[in-house]
Amino acid sequence: MRFADLVTFYDRLDATTKRLEMRAVLVELLDRLSPEELGEVLYLSQGLLRPEYEGVELGVADSLAGRALAEAAGRSEEEVTEAVRVSGDLGTTGESLLAPLRPHPPPLEVTEVYAGLLAIAKASGEGSQEAKVGALVALLRRAGPSESKYILRIVLGRLRLGVREMTILDALAQKYAGGTRAGREKVEAAFNVSSDLARVARLLATEGIEGLAKVRLEVGRPVRAMLAERSPDLADVLSRMDGRTALEYKYDGLRVQAHVREDGTTRLFSRRLEDLSGQFPELVRDLPRALPHRPVIVEGECVPIDPDTDEIRPFQDVSRRRGRKYDLERMQAEVPVCLFLFDVLLAPEGPLLDRSFPLRRARLAELLRPDERIRLAKQQVVASVDEAQAFFDESIAAGCEGVMAKSLAEGSTYRAGARGFWWIKYKREYTQGLADSIDGVVVGGFSGRGRRAGRYGALLLAVYNEAEDRFESFCKVGSGFDDVGLAELPTRLKPYELDSAPEDVMSGLTPDRWFRPSLVLEVRGAELSLSPIHRAAFGAIRPGAGLALRFPRFTGRYRDDKGPTDATTAAELLTLYRSQVKQPVRDAGGSAEA
């Protein structure tokens, strides 16, 4: 396929935020692709070159891309900078500066653009900057204006067509799996285990739905994480678990999926499947020692530990290590971490995803040689509310945020990428009569006044409605931001700015600026109430009313570990609302900003 043709599809995708329309455009696009092109196009359309977990970074700096554009357009770098200042986007600047020039023949093929971009991403070491600029100039010279716009956006890591994985899965299922529900489930299951859309697509295109049987768990390829439902009280937890369950401490840290190869080589993945290995070298070093029988894939929660007392410390301590490339040694000493393992997905004998949880947990205990740093998550099987309460209190006293109840039933397999009642979380906040913290997606910004003039004064947050695949507003939050945080907001949010309300966002409020749902942050509040202007779980409790968080306050915690669809869901908010009706809440005493 010519890249110019692909770009016409991008224009159509860019013009809509409706999932059904996107799916239709994608199906049409799939019809036009050869199996070889399929993978490349699916990666490119998500702004990627390889599956996310491989960490192939395209993000070329603006200055470098500007230099390449200047050279390709025969302009000075100053002219380009000035044009970008006016347009606000290097992509559209490229489009207009290159418009008067005729692209060099022959026209670009998708495969060539992909190869060029991969070369740019992979160039490293001495002279790599020149190599990147050179490769980019070569592409831009052969590209038409619209093609250049997209090439520049991809190169800068700012494509953002808004095509989510779930929409691509829909399109794949429609084209290759007969559009049936069972087919869609198989496609998603294959993706949940391989975490690689392009691989799934290629198998479907060449071997049909049967080909998906080839997708097996492999060391080095992260599995999408199994997720928990929540419950309002321990009696409810027990009744959902048929009176008996394994309770575990719910550690408040970072989820880590560790892949340890036979030779001991270890890679760590976050819940979003990013490679965390560089951030926790001590875990990479110690895991093979703790897991002598390999290969294995294990999961656990990484939490900061006080080296003097061995007590668990607040999550904020470990988040300070995120994204830090420097000072790693110092951080290791200052913020030592401990990994509490709670599951095993693959053992030397093979994948364990289909085994029940009790079998997996027993296998984990056999495989692990615990040490200071790598330990087993604390667990107790309970059969009464009293026992459960005692274990819960113990977990809070140990610095955890609550408990995770895990089903002991035969069907308690590892459900990659799925949220269900096989795991139920129950957190401390419920017992204090306060609403649990909520992970909200930023969908809008309101201009500030007074001291906040010229900045955002408050943000519009939404929860994710899984059933409808859309985002529903539940609060406007302005408290809890410090001056530095406020000053940073415009830059943080810039990449997601939109000119109009996205189709997949529902709110009765109109912010001064809409954002593509991307950034997730944690808020707390006094209670959930019914509101005519917010749209979370609209109509579920009372017609014409959604759920709203009263006195919301930003906790200071950006959930960079969560994507928009990992945020708190509308269904979870509803559970929270119902749980507080049973347990009347006290006012947290926050100030109303909304």
> Does the footprint of ligand AMP cover residue 251 (CB under 6 A)?
yes
Residue 360 Cα distances to 289, 345, 355, 382, 410, angstroms: 20, 8, 6, 18, 11
- Pick from 393, 372, 252: nearest CA to 310: 372
| Whether the Cβ atoms of residue 432 and residue 449 lie closer than 8 Å to each other | no
Least distance (Å) between residue 249 CB and ligand AMP: 6
122 is catalytic: no
Q: Other CB atoms closer than 10 Å to residue 128's CB: what's the count?
A: 12
**Residues from 413 through 472 that contact ligand AMP (CB under 6 A):** 425
Burial of residue 246 (number of CB atoms within 10 Å: 0-12, 13-18, 19+): buried
Q: Which of 132, 250, 427, 562 is catalytic?
A: 250
For residues 181-202, one letter each, b for 16 or more C-beta atoms within 10 angstroms of the residue's C-beta and e for the rest, the string is eebbebbbbbbbbbbbbbbbbb
Size of the site for ligand AMP (CB under 6 A): 13
Torsion of CA 171, 173, 176, 179, to 10 degrees: -100
The β-bridge partners of 248 are 379, 404
Alpha carbon of residue 380 to chain centroid: 31
Whole-number minimum distance, CB 36 to ligand AMP, in Å? 37
CB of 418 to ligand AMP, least distance (A): 12
Q: Which of 228, 364, 424, 434 binds ligand AMP (CB under 6 A)?
A: 228
Select the span of 181-189, 197-205, 244-252, 579-587 touching ligand AMP (CB under 6 A).
Answer: 244-252
Residue whose token pair is 């906790």: 555
Stretch that binds ligand AMP, among 202-210, 242-250, 460-468, 585-593 (CB under 6 A): 242-250
Q: Is 255 in the site for ligand AMP (CB under 6 A)?
A: yes
Cα–Cα distance, 258 to 220 (Å, whole number): 9
Identity of residue 249: Y
For ligand AMP, the binding residues in 553-592 under the rule CB under 6 A are none
Judged by beta carbon, residue 203 or residue 303, the one nearer ligand AMP is 303
Q: Which stretch binds ligand AMP (CB under 6 A): 196-204, 245-253, 460-468, 520-528?
A: 245-253
If one asks whether residue 223 binds ligand AMP (CB under 6 A), the answer comes out as no
β-pair partners for 164: none
Per the structure block, which two tokens stand in for 454? 């010229």
162-221: which residues touch ligand AMP (CB under 6 A)?
none
CA 547 – CA 330 distance, rounded (Å): 45
Question: Can you tell me which of 23, 271, 360, 476 binds ligand AMP, judged by CB under 6 A?
Answer: 271
Q: Are 293 and 344 in contact (CB under 8 A)?
A: no
Alpha helices in 33-144 (DSSP H): 35-45, 62-73, 77-87, 90-98, 110-122, 128-142
Min dist CB 54 to ligand AMP, Å, is: 22
CB nearer ligand AMP, residue 68 or residue 225: 225
CA-to-CA separations, 74 to 71, 80, 155, 216, 461, in angstroms, rounded:
5, 10, 20, 51, 44
Binders of ligand AMP in range 15-54 (CB under 6 A): none
Question: Taking the complex as a whole, how short is the minimal distance between the CB of residue 498 and ligand AMP, in angstroms?
Answer: 27
- Closer CB to ligand AMP, 45 or 245, in the complex: 245
Kindly identify the residues of this chain, within the stretch 57-116, that bind ligand AMP according to CB under 6 A.
none
Q: Report, in Å, the least distance between residue 574 CB and ligand AMP.
A: 15
- Answer yes or no whether residue 342 interacts with ligand AMP by CB under 6 A: yes
**Minimum distance between the CB of residue 416 and ligand AMP, rounded to whole angstroms?**
13
Between residues 150 and 251, which has the closer beta carbon with respect to ligand AMP? 251
Question: The tokens of 209 are what?
Answer: 């739905």
Candidates 22, 155, 331, 377: give the one binding ligand AMP (CB under 6 A): 377
Which listed range, 177-185, 249-257, 275-283, 503-511, lies at the site for ligand AMP (CB under 6 A)? 249-257
- The DSSP symbol for 214 reads G
Q: Shortest Cβ distance from residue 141 to ligand AMP (Å)? A: 47
Beta carbon nearer to ligand AMP, 37 or 248: 248
Q: Are 361 and 380 in contact (CB under 8 A)?
A: no
381-393 in b/e form (b: 16+ CB < 10 A) is: ebeebeebbebbe
* 83 versus 228: smaller Cβ distance to ligand AMP: 228
Does 522 contact ligand AMP by CB under 6 A? no
Q: Which is nearer to ligand AMP, 225 or 337 (CB)?
A: 225
How many CA atoms, within 13 angstroms, populate the side-chain half-sphere of residue 594? 22
Cβ-based nearer residue to ligand AMP, 37 or 301: 301
Our CB check for ligand AMP shows the closer of 17 and 257 to be: 257
Does 524 help bind ligand AMP (rule: CB under 6 A)?
A: no
Would you list the DSSP string of 149-179?
A: HHHHHHHTT-------HHHHHHHHHHHHSTT
Closest CB to ligand AMP: residue number: 255
Smallest distance from ligand AMP to CB 379, Å: 8
CB atoms within 10 A of CB 114: 19
Closest C-alpha among 137, 157, 92, 110 to residue 7: 110
The structure tokens listed for 536 are 């979370």
Is residue 404 at the binding interface for ligand AMP, with CB under 6 A as the rule? Answer: yes
Is the CB of 163 or the CB of 225 nearer to ligand AMP? 225
* Contact window for ligand AMP (CB under 6 A) among 12-20, 246-254, 346-354, 473-481: 246-254
- Give, rounded to a whole angstrom, the gap between the first and last alpha carbons of the chain: 51
Measured CA to CA, the distance from residue 542 to residue 563 in angstroms comes to 30
- Shortest reach from residue 251's CB to ligand AMP, in Å: 4
- By CB under 6 A, what part of segment 282-321 binds ligand AMP? 301
Binding site for ligand AMP (CB under 6 A): 225, 228, 248-251, 255, 271, 301, 342, 377, 404, 425
Catalytic residues: 250
